[in-house]
Amino acid sequence: MPAPVGPLPDPLVYKIDVLVATHRFTSSNVLAINAKGQSTGAFDVNGRPIRVDSVKGVPLPLSTIYGFNGTFPGPRINAEYGKPVLVRFENHLDENPLNLDRQDFGTPDLSFLTHLHNGHTAPESDGNPHYSMRFGPRHHGYRPGMFVDNLYLNWPAGGDDREKQSFFWFHDHRMDHTGSNVYKGMVGLYPIYDPVLDPGDENAGLHLPGVRRDNPDGSFDVDYDIPLAIYDCRLDDGVTVHHDFHDPEFPSARGRTHPEWWGKTFFKHFPNHGFVGDIFTVNGTAYPTLKVKRRKYRLRFLDASIARIYEFKLMASTQGPKAAKDLGLTGDDLEGQYRIPDGQQCMKFLQIATDGGLVPLAFERDSFELWPAKRREFVVDFSVYQDGSPTTSGDLIYLTDVMRMPNGRMWSNSTRFSADPSYKVPVLRFEIDGNDRPPDRSDIAPGRQLRPLPLLPTNWKNMLDNRLIFEVKRGSIGGEVEWLINGMSFDPATAATSLRNLAGNTPSASQKKGSFNLWEIRNGGGGWVHPFHLHMEEHRTVMRNGKDVTVRPDPGHPDDISREDLTALDPGESVILYRGFRDFVGPYVAHCHNLAHEDHAMMFGWEIAP
């Protein structure tokens, strides 16, 4: 039911500088290993070999980042429906007061473009290339010395309460270099609360876990409500020769080794399936410990990785994690660095939200997949195990990845596809802090009604024949335009055209403001998976692989019952999405969120016409 559009209050104003800065992935000492798991050498910042104690290791040097306010992840903005936010993003990437080595990735012209994923935002504040190349800076992004004021209205699509979401993030979207800029640190968090159902206060609304503290400047913090941004990276070993498609942009880096970059983030623009790292980090730290009280928490998961998909379980272990090299593992099996051989599931996740906000009914899961850019929110009760026994102070619970994904193409093993029970990589350790139980006034259980879905028109099947069809596929030309949509590489100047549909038409991806339509996204290549993201309104999946999933979701994709901004396409899958086009006019994009695919042209422009 659309609410009347009244005047919104003046926005809360934030300023975020895009800065060259340093980041520490761990304060622990490290031991470098080769693909056989054997200890290898290390180098200092001048590229001179240093002696490594094979037991104690050496400190990890700081990596150079391009970060929002100079941190990774960047700032967290807690937003609220009804209270607009204006963020001034200012480019200071030309300044380098610490004279840090910029290495060979990150946009060469130092421009940035920030997208609030997936804010319901006018095109000029959306930070997408289809707008920026035509109307915005008329460039790939905002260059040094420039700023942009992005207005985030915190307004649900159509003014409809059922369209409210709960967890955005903002990240770089600079055309052709999104992957390298995100990987270089341009990630920020933006949970969005709803004064009616989800105010960040477990005494109010739906009583979801969270204790709110309001600050004098209008901002607020919420205890027991924790975003977890997952990101995988590789670190330079000092002996690998740097060679990349983008060599001409980084002439000082090409064709040689960089011992002076030892231990700093290593990137390749064009591993043609997508880039995966072998060190797994949470909120910028590798293998961290999070102390938790014996009560319920809300955990907001975000996959901020370029291509890696995760499948998480909560596990207990008697023996604890072992270094993968000490288990005799080699090669790709060293990815993740640790294994937890005796890990056993000890807790379940109670899912409360997906990309599109709170789900209609809370539901329990043993594990869940997290695809790039996706958000999944869960309540976990750290006072009790799934068998009913209580937790005690000092207990350790491991957030464990059980999806083996040796390259950016797709997983080799997961619960859904040839599960490998020996693949258990601990990513984060929760430590129970104290035996007392702090007050917990939250009230949530499986089956609890959360946010109803917006209604689907009863005659939606009448729209099937004239739907828009987009097929995502690897092209034969290779290189910089390797990844195609409907056979075309991204053209930021025009709206894309559908493949011929059953009605015999090839409609343009130009939709009238206020309209709704069905869009089909087809995975046209057999061996890849694509996390496909559509800017603007969240969609509802109505069909998957030709089957109606509005009543019963596909067992492999239980999140299809919710609204999402990113659809998970297994090899050969197709989905049909019901989408709305309301409130704003102008150009937006849709693209694969495997950022290596996106940066190599797997994106198309579309628009909302008046």
150 in contact with Cu ion (CB under 5 A): no
367 in contact with Cu ion (CB under 5 A): no
594 in contact with Cu ion (CB under 5 A): yes
Segment near Cu ion (CB under 5 A); pick from 93-101, 400-408, 434-442, 584-592: 584-592
Distances (CA, A) of 534 to 120, 150, 355, 524: 12, 19, 12, 18
Segment near Cu ion (CB under 5 A); pick from 140-148, 216-224, 440-448, 592-600: 592-600
The neighbour count for residue 108, using CB atoms within 10 Å, is 15
Among residues 451, 530, 533, 591, the one that binds Cu ion under rule CB under 5 A: 530
Here the tokens at position 306 are: 């370029």
Segment near Cu ion (CB under 5 A); pick from 196-204, 310-318, 528-536, 539-547: 528-536
Report in angstroms how near the CB of residue 594 gets to Cu ion at its nearest: 4
Check residue 307 and report its DSSP letter. Answer: S
- Residue placing its CB nearer to Cu ion in the complex, 264 or 530: 530
Q: How far apart are CA 356 and CA 450, in angstroms?
A: 13
592 in contact with Cu ion (CB under 5 A): yes
Cβ atoms 19, 186 nearer than 8 A? no
562 in contact with Cu ion (CB under 5 A): no
273 in contact with Cu ion (CB under 5 A): no
Helical segments of 144-278, H only: 178-183
Report in angstroms how near the CB of residue 527 gets to Cu ion at its nearest: 12
425 in contact with Cu ion (CB under 5 A): no
Q: What element of type H or E holds 358?
A: strand 357-365
- Residue placing its CB nearer to Cu ion in the complex, 340 or 485: 485
- Residue placing its CB nearer to Cu ion in the complex, 110 or 484: 484
Report in angstroms how near the CB of residue 573 gets to Cu ion at its nearest: 12
294 in contact with Cu ion (CB under 5 A): no
Peptide bond preceding 517 in cis form (omega within 30 of 0): no
Report in angstroms how near the CB of residue 597 gets to Cu ion at its nearest: 3
3-state secondary structure 489-539: CCCCCCECECCCCCCCCCCECEEECCEEEEEEEEECCCCCCEEEEECCCCE
Report in angstroms how near the CB of residue 571 gets to Cu ion at its nearest: 11
Q: How far apart are CA 358 and CA 167, in angstroms?
A: 10
603 in contact with Cu ion (CB under 5 A): no
Here the tokens at position 488 are: 């075309």
Q: Are strands 483-485 and 603-609 parallel, antiparallel or unpaired?
A: unpaired
Shortest CA distance to 473 belongs to which of 465, 464, 483, 481?
483
- Residue placing its CB nearer to Cu ion in the complex, 352 or 590: 590
Report in angstroms how near the CB of residue 530 gets to Cu ion at its nearest: 3
Report in angstroms how near the CB of residue 541 gets to Cu ion at its nearest: 18
Distances (CA, A) of 133 to 54, 166, 363: 52, 30, 43
Report in angstroms how near the CB of residue 309 gets to Cu ion at its nearest: 11
522 in contact with Cu ion (CB under 5 A): no
107 in contact with Cu ion (CB under 5 A): no
- Residue placing its CB nearer to Cu ion in the complex, 353 or 602: 602
596 in contact with Cu ion (CB under 5 A): no
- Residue placing its CB nearer to Cu ion in the complex, 299 or 603: 603
474 in contact with Cu ion (CB under 5 A): no
Among residues 92, 404, 597, 600, the one that binds Cu ion under rule CB under 5 A: 597
Shortest CA distance to 539 belongs to which of 499, 509, 574, 566?
566
Check residue 259 and report its DSSP letter. Answer: G
Q: What element of type H or E holds 599?
A: helix 595-599
| Alpha carbon of residue 216 to chain centroid | 31
- Report the interface residues with Cu ion, using CB under 5 A: 530, 592, 594, 597
